[in-house]
Structure 1
Amino acid sequence: MAGRAGTLSSRETESTAPPSGWAAKLELRFERRAAATRLVSNRHHGPLRLLRALPQDDGSCHAVIVHPPGGLVGGDSLDVDLQLGPSSHLLCTTPGAQKWYRSAHFPARSDTRVSVGSGALLEWLPQPAIVYEGARVDQAVRFELAPGARMIGWECLVLGRAGMGERFTRGRLRQRLSLAIDERLAWIEQTCADAGDRLFASPLGWRGHCVSGTVWAVGPAATESLLSEWRGILDRFEDLGRQGGAARFEGGATRATPTLLLARLLADDAEPVMDASRALWAAARPLVLDRTAVLPRIWAT
């Protein structure tokens, strides 16, 4: 994996011509059949595929999407098109972190579109994305929810590899995360900045942290009561972050619309952000999705 990244990066350094990276596509469709959610279409091109589709006793399906190379460099592209039929229930995750490697001139691109049918339930729970020093990232994730659809999701982005003394001081980050409900845009979060931009130190941006997480819940149960519970969870993680030896952590939550809760998490390490994200998911799942908060077995492997 590292050898491939080094080879492509060297090629880019020697030439400003657009690199011929890997183009990968994955199209998945799930439908509710009888009392269970089933995979009914699976098409892929290049090194991006569905590793597993695991039916669950509660009628849901757990999907694990894998990118075997493990990372992207300039010229690479990943396209995911995921469709959930009416009344289906999918939990989608990944087995490991997505890595964005150094790219001298050209960005790597990832475009994900998720369509959630009427009355369907989606849990979008990927592992963190790690942006290496010198990476050029172009990422878009779009969720389109039909009337009556509900979901809980998160995204986590890590800038640099702090444990190895690496910071994100060279490169570029372009990221767009959006959510539409009944064909109306309910929320959009956009970042377009070069490494070293004041956004990363600003009190209105990353506040000097190197890890950012976003968690959201959509549904009629996204109430003030759940918001209060989320804020209590984040307060506890902030208290832990103040203890000696713990990574600094900051978190806040808001009710963006009557059916949408949002939480923003910032830290100096991915672990507290992911732990807090799982805690928010566990609090929301019984209310928003009417399902017991049982950790997916794939997370234990």
Structure 2
Amino acid sequence: MPRDLPDAPPPRHQRAEGAFDLHLAAGPRGTALRDLYQQAPARVLFPVPEPDEALTAAVLNCAGGLAGGDSLRQSVRLEANARATLSTAAAEKVYRSLGPETRVESALQLGPGAVLEWIPQETILFDGARLRRRMVAHLAPGALLLAAETLVFGRAARGERMTSGMVFDAWRLEGPDGLLWMDALALEGDLAARLAAPFGFAGAEALGTLLLAGGAAEAARDVLRALPERAPGGATLPRPGLLLARWLGPAGAVREAVAAAILALRAAQLGLPPRLPRLWTT
């Protein structure tokens, strides 16, 4: 019979290292795929868009979720005047970790006059998950970016709340003249206490963030402030030409608030129809 060796190293679990590099360019028939590299378990699909929609790219994680030690690298490049919508096919799940971090790196590059909707569905953090996520966006003159991300602290449908683990979520936005905005969320240790703190998250199940850069920020802020309140939140202008909005509250309410904001701004700022992409509704 096999025997345990006292000095044997602990078993190493297989880890996923997904990646994709998506390159889009404007042409005589609209935006088209110029180049695509993808590495399992990440996949990029191109559902047929409605006639009045921009090219749509759907990101799919074939593994069904991300575990501790997994990594995902996402890169999107739009050439001058290209237009696209990028979303995920479903909510992303980050499972409880046995120690290692789950890493997600996203890089967006928009050429002159390019327009990108970066609107993945929510990221659900299981209790004990350890997520380190960074997003960096570079905007050329005349480019427009509408970006939205949502973090859910636990499996809300099961009544689970995140009590342990780690979250580091950083954003960096750069324009033609350098840094426009950067921000980071860092949570570790007793997450139950930190998420329950009355002057912190106040017991919120989810955090939604939306960023509009390159559009008419003041008009966009007024559009958001006129929407019915679905979750506690607010919109502000950190600098001219930049809108930041955030929501805290129940997971379902935050999703509804982010979706309503996307719907309103894509119509008012991006010239797209006032409806959500089918990925969000099917």
* Structure 2 partner of 1:31: 25
Distance 1:27 1:192, change over 3 A: same
Checking the alignment, whether the CA contact within 8 Å between 1:220 and 1:258 is kept in structure 2 is no
Matching of residues 17-96 of structure 1 within 5 Å = 19-52=13-46, 54=48, 57-58=51-52, 60-96=54-90
Partners of 2:216 and 2:54 lie apart in 1 by 20
1:129 positional shift:
0.2
Partners of 2:92 and 2:9 lie apart in 1 by 26
Gaps of 5+ in 1: 1-13, 239-248
Percent identity between matched residues is 32
Partners of 1:282 and 1:199 lie apart in 2 by 32
* Structure 2 partner of 1:242: none
Deviation per CA, 1:156-180, whole angstroms, max 9, x where unpaired?
0001113323111111111112222
* Structure 2 partner of 1:293: 274
1:227 positional shift:
1.3
Checking the alignment, whether the CA contact within 8 Å between 1:145 and 1:183 is kept in structure 2 is no
Checking the alignment, whether the CA contact within 8 Å between 1:146 and 1:183 is kept in structure 2 is no
Checking the alignment, whether the CA contact within 8 Å between 1:237 and 1:272 is kept in structure 2 is no
Select 1:146's aligned residue among 129, 135, 140.
140
1:35 positional shift:
3.6
Distance 1:47 1:263, change over 3 A: same
Partners of 1:175 and 1:280 lie apart in 2 by 21
* Structure 1 partner of 2:212: 217
Distance 1:51 1:200, change over 3 A: same
Question: Paired residues, what number?
Answer: 274
Distance 1:253 1:142, change over 3 A: same
The runs of at least 4 consecutive aligned structure 1 residues that moved more than 6 Å come to 14-18
1:208 aligns with 2:203: yes
1:216 positional shift:
1.6
Checking the alignment, whether the CA contact within 8 Å between 1:218 and 1:288 is kept in structure 2 is no
Checking the alignment, whether the CA contact within 8 Å between 2:111 and 2:140 is kept in structure 1 is yes
Matching of residues 1-301 of structure 1 within 5 Å = 19-52=13-46, 54=48, 57-58=51-52, 60-197=54-191, 199-203=194-198, 205-223=200-218, 225-233=219-227, 236-238=228-230, 249-269=231-251, 271-301=252-282
Partners of 1:53 and 1:74 lie apart in 2 by 31
Checking the alignment, whether the CA contact within 8 Å between 1:150 and 1:288 is kept in structure 2 is no
1:53 positional shift:
5.1
Checking the alignment, whether the CA contact within 8 Å between 2:121 and 2:280 is kept in structure 1 is no
Distance 1:117 1:204, change over 3 A: farther
For normalisation by structure 1, the TM-score amounts to 0.84
What RMSD over aligned residues (CA atoms) do the two structures have, in Å? 2.1
Gaps of 5+ in 2: 1-7
